[in-house]
Amino acid sequence: MVGLTEAALAQGASVPAPQADSIQVPINAPGVSVSDDGTRVIYGQEFFAQYGAVTAVDILKRIPGIQDVVKLDNSLLPGGNFQQNERRGFGSTGEQILINGERLSGKTNDTTTTLQRIQARQVDRVEVIRGAVAGLDVRSEGLVVNVVLKESAGSGSWEGIATHYSGGRVRWGGRASYSGSAGALTYNVAVEQAARFQQRDRVETYINLSGAAYQRQFEINEVVVDERILTANTGYTFTNGDRLALNGRYGDKDELEEFPVYSYALSGATSRFVVFDDRERDTAEKTWEVGGDYSHDFTGGGQFKGLFVYTHGAFDRTNPFRLTPAGGREALVRLQNEDRANSEKIVRGSYRWGLSQSINAEAGSEVAINTLNKTVQLFVDQSGTLRPVILFNAKANIRETRFEPFTNLSWQATPSLFVDANVEVEYSKLNQTGADVNNRRSLFFVRPGLDLRYDVTPLTQLRAFAHRTISQLDFANFVATFENDDNRSDVVNAGNPNIVPTKAWEYALTLERRLPSDGGVVSIKTFYNDVSDRIDNIAVGPTRSVSAVGNTGPGREYGVEAKTSIRLGALGLPGAVVNASGTLRHSQATDAFTGARTKYQDHPNYSYTVGFRHDTEWRDFSYGVTMDKEGQRYSSDINYYHLLDRYLDGTAFVEMRAVGAVKAKLEIRRFLRAGAHRERFTYTGNRGLSTLLRQESRSALFEQAIAFTLRGTF
């Protein structure tokens, strides 16, 4: 809920207040204090004033240790988020960020994008909450960030961006928002035009079994996205302290992907043009969402909260495939159509109360109805005429009705030890109808969880958790799906109406140390996930020659994750900070086609990010650089497996106050333009039953982007 007044916060809308015997203790850093024996680190307005921030996101960028908690990326920039939020239901988990102590009751209208529309002058303080805490509106074993707003008169902010890409293309975008409060009413409205672009230039060589190159392809993959978004959030606090919030979002997105491929036959040192393969993927998507929540505080100390979310999306995609052979004419040889409409309706209610001074409880339930209507069509050229091809399970209507009661008990066992236990029970009915498949089934799961927090000292904390998790089913996998990556334009994955969710026991242990005087934070986490009913590609059909998404059996993943955020004031660089994180992981599963042990798809064995940022007082000048790298990725399907290496690359920026309060920023993404390399091994059929056909060696070069942004307020 956005924009509650301070009076409402005092009546219980914020994150639960510190214990009665706890006080806020200033530390040797402007505007920074700690409370709850160090569990809560509070950043006030004196801290914000150092940086000339425009939005709430600008403030969060300066707080050490939360870069992985909050998605601080700007969706207007190149390479921004192309996907909507697809988490299941609303649940007690989600984004680890709250606004005035509460999550936004939305799915596509999420909290992190809302922060980009909140002005810095509206922020009263930011609370970084370490570990499990009683009464939080979201459950987290790590950090939760609470952005507390203050009353403010109506005001607005704006942002405009121009991005130049290495191929010469220029794209424009921007956003504007207006927000404020009038007594008990708060409001925020925003419009946004996001114009994004992605380009990859690839060279791929086919190598036969004798090691000779016999074909080369030059590929140019471009994705152009234009998205228009309108959002509105409002909140009202009644005289009795009850709170009502309503929000809405409308999105209209057009996406055009072009994938021209030039193929040449190789013979020794000579090459001969063979064919021009021109593919497109034209997508139109419209989404809208409304949500709201209502809370009431009882005289005895209990609190009721109810919410609803209704999301609807319509998706239409057309994929034409054209071939132009050497010396021939262009011909439309294949056409794919996909229409999809989906909706999600959620109603959730919960009641929180205190059993004693140290024990708090919560109980409630959530009801959700999810639907998907999907149709795919395939047309192929026959003697110059496109004719339909009959596909099995090409049309389906899917409906899931899910009921989820839950309960939670939190106990402050000792001043240093906090225990949080919860149990969620899920019962759902799935119904799929169509021309080829009519399937009804029920699912039942119990999801217990336990979180522990032990404060070794006010600055050192040990956290542990054990959770039972159930994955989200993607209903699109229940129906036939086109596979159009790379050279597999002729592959149709069979739908699988019998998929069950992946189950896992997840365990983690984290040790976190905050440095004195807000000098930074260092943490190390070990994790282990024991998985059953993994979802991956499997072979189906009487000859096991077709792949579909299905359950492959057990798996496991374990590793260690380290994070650090260190201020460099002691080195004579006040305002400078180094952020770094790295993960080492090992995964093990069974290949559904060969039966061999393998690692998880698209889970690199390691990844790391290192960043440096320096904020100065001269005209709010800032500069910085971030570098990232990950290990080799493994991916496979029925007739291939490949190994992908992405090279070290990064982003650099400079930003300053240009004229008045207007800030200008210049950012270069992928400034090394390092690209990636992939080795794919393609088989004549099912990898477990056939022989190797060829090796495909591909090098890819990503576009470099230079973005210039102006931001200000009005």
Query: pLDDT digits over 451-466, tens only?
Result: 999 999 888 999 999 9
CATH of domain 6-713: 2.40.170.20
Q: How confident is the model at residue 93 (pLDDT cuts 50, 70, 90)?
A: low
**Angstrom distances, CA of residue 46 to CA of 7, 80, 152, 281, 363:** 22, 32, 18, 51, 39
Query: Is 147 strand, coil or helix?
Result: strand
Count of Cβ atoms closer than 10 Å to residue 541 Cβ: 12
DSSP-assigned beta bridge partners for residue 156: 178
pLDDT at 239: 93
pLDDT at 74: 52
Q: How confident is the model at residue 269 (pLDDT cuts 50, 70, 90)?
A: confident
CB contact at 8 A, 322 and 331: yes
Q: How confident is the model at residue 103 (pLDDT cuts 50, 70, 90)?
A: confident
For residues 109-117, average pLDDT: 75
* Total residues belonging to the chain: 714
Could you please report the per-residue DSSP string of 554-608? EEEEEEEEEEEEEE-GGGT-TTEEEEEEEEEEEEEEE-TTT--EEPPTT--SEEE
Closest among 599, 574, 597 to 517, alpha carbons compared: 574
For residues 516-520, average pLDDT: 89
**E-state strands within 208-269:** 213-237, 243-267
Better-scored residue on pLDDT, 495 or 683: 683
Q: Are strands 395-412 and 385-389 parallel, antiparallel or unpaired?
A: unpaired
pLDDT at 66: 78
pLDDT at 183 over 90: no
Q: Between vectors from CA 427 to CA 423 and to CA 430, what angle results, nearest 5°? A: 150
pLDDT at 603: 93
Closest among 111, 253, 239 to 183, alpha carbons compared: 239
Residue type, 261: V
CB contact at 8 A, 466 and 505: yes
**Angstrom distances, CA of residue 60 to CA of 123, 374, 412:** 11, 41, 29
pLDDT at 23: 52
Express each pLDDT in 68-83 by its tens digit.
665 555 556 544 333 3
Residue 96, both tokens: 């680890």
pLDDT at 30: 77
For residues 419-436, average pLDDT: 94
**E-state strands within 87-212:** 97-99, 123-130, 143-149, 155-165, 170-182, 185-207
Lowest mean pLDDT among 125-134, 247-256, 358-367, 526-535: 125-134
**Angstrom distances, CA of residue 467 to CA of 91, 304, 411, 428, 527:** 14, 26, 18, 20, 12
pLDDT at 506: 96
**E-state strands within 270-383:** 270-297, 303-325, 331-354, 359-382
pLDDT at 336 over 80: yes
pLDDT at 374: 94
pLDDT at 5 over 60: no
pLDDT at 21: 43
Long-range pairs for 79-82: beta carbons < 8 A, 24 or more residues apart: 79/196, 79/198, 79/669, 79/705, 80/194, 80/196, 82/196, 82/223, 82/225, 82/255
pLDDT at 9: 36
Q: How confident is the model at residue 32 (pLDDT cuts 50, 70, 90)?
A: confident
- Give the percent of the chain with pLDDT over 90: 65
pLDDT at 150: 84
pLDDT at 61 over 80: yes
pLDDT at 65: 78
Q: How confident is the model at residue 265 (pLDDT cuts 50, 70, 90)?
A: very high
| CA distance linking residue 701 with residue 485, whole number of Å | 17
| Mean pLDDT score across all residues of the chain | 87
Express each pLDDT in 543-566 by its tens digit.
878 888 999 999 999 999 999 999
Which are the contacts of 648, defined by CB distance < 8 A and separation ≥ 6?
Answer: 627, 628, 629, 672, 674
How far from the centroid of its chain's Cα atoms is residue 159's Cα?
23
For residues 193-205, average pLDDT: 93
pLDDT at 20: 37
The domain spans of the chain are 6-713
What values do phi and psi take at 372, rounded to 5?
-145, 125
Q: How confident is the model at residue 141 (pLDDT cuts 50, 70, 90)?
A: low
| CA distance linking residue 366 with residue 404, whole number of Å | 5
| Percentages (nearest 5) of helix, strand, coil residues in the chain | 5, 65, 30
Lowest mean pLDDT among 133-142, 385-394, 478-487, 510-519: 133-142
- Give the percent of the chain with pLDDT over 70: 88
Express each pLDDT in 624-669 by its tens digit.
999 999 999 999 999 999 999 999 999 999 999 998 889 999 999 9
Q: How confident is the model at residue 404 (pLDDT cuts 50, 70, 90)?
A: very high
Express each pLDDT in 145-169 by its tens digit.
889 988 777 889 999 999 999 888 9
Closest among 339, 145, 137 to 245, alpha carbons compared: 137
Q: How confident is the model at residue 507 (pLDDT cuts 50, 70, 90)?
A: very high
Lowest mean pLDDT among 170-184, 474-488, 675-689: 474-488
Q: Between vectors from CA 449 to CA 148 and to CA 531, what angle results, nearest 5°? A: 115
| CA distance linking residue 123 with residue 97, whole number of Å | 14
